[in-house]
């Protein structure tokens, strides 16, 4: 299929004429989401972590979708019959660049002002940190597979308020997205008095239940 990768920096976007699903997953992850462009002409493949992590704003993808999107994205035209040079023609590219420049600063401000959920933040090359309601911080680091494939083993450290000595657990056979989502939902639930299994041991360790 023909598609266009919308990167995060100027000059980072590119057209791929014969992309496969493997190519798309390599860019946006195994558990990507999809949204439709505002004009209904494109399917936008959105990075798998866009709802659970604070990814850098993708102003171009946001301009096309009409919603704020973070992280790299791939746009695939519904019309796959038209030649790629006609779909991603100079007029379209100029419009996308102009629209991106116009709304980028505004979107950054709206993104910060209207954020309703805390998400994980990447603070190192492989460490994600979440400052929740029950724990002062939850840190996640993934172990890489020997062949470099998608890691399914994750180390998690829970830090209680006022404590620098964490309680650690390990989750296996889950994707990073599933782990981050589970921890966000678990922290929200614990704050409301509902204890999920992942949180029971660290909460007991710190005497929080």
Find tokens 């998690």 and name the residue.
156
At residue 45, the pLDDT reads 97
Tens place of pLDDT per residue across the chain (209 aa): 999 999 886 667 899 999 999 999 999 999 999 999 999 999 999 999 999 999 988 989 998 998 889 999 999 999 998 888 889 999 998 988 888 888 877 777 766 665 656 799 999 888 999 998 999 999 999 886 655 555 678 999 999 998 899 999 999 889 999 999 999 999 999 999 999 999 999 999 999 88
- Which letter does DSSP use for residue 126 in this model? S
Is the pTM higher than 0.85? no
At residue 115, the pLDDT reads 60
At residue 163, the pLDDT reads 87
At residue 142, the pLDDT reads 87
**Sheet strands side by side (includes 42-46):** 14-16, 3-6, 73-77, 42-46, 33-36
d(C-alpha 45, C-alpha 36), whole Å = 9
**Sheet strands side by side (includes 167-172):** 121-122, 127-130, 137-143, 153-159, 167-172
d(C-alpha 136, C-alpha 153), whole Å = 23
């Amino acid at each position: 299929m023909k598609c266009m990768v919308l990167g995060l920096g100027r000059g980072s976007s590119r057209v791929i004429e014969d992309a496969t699903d493997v190519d798309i997953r390599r860019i946006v992850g195994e558990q990507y989401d999809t949204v439709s462009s505002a004009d209904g002409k494109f399917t936008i493949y959105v990075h798998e972590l866009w709802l659970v992590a604070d990814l850098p704003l993708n102003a171009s993808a946001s301009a096309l979708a009409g919603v704020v999107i973070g992280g790299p994205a791939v746009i695939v035209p519904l019309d796959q019959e038209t030649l790629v040079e006609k779909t991603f023609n100079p007029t379209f590219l100029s419009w996308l660049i102009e629209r991106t420049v116009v709304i980028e600063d505004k979107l950054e401000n709206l993104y910060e002002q209207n954020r309703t959920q805390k998400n994980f933040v990447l603070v190192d090359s492989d460490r994600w940190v979440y400052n929740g309601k029950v724990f002062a911080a939850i840190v996640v680091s993934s172990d890489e597979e020997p062949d470099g494939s998608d890691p399914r083993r994750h180390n998690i450290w829970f830090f209680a308020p006022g404590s620098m000595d964490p309680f650690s657990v390990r989750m296996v056979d889950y994707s990073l997205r599933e782990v981050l989502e589970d921890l966000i939902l678990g922290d929200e639930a614990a704050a409301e008095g509902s204890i999920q299994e992942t949180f029971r041991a660290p909460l007991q360790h710190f005497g929080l239940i």
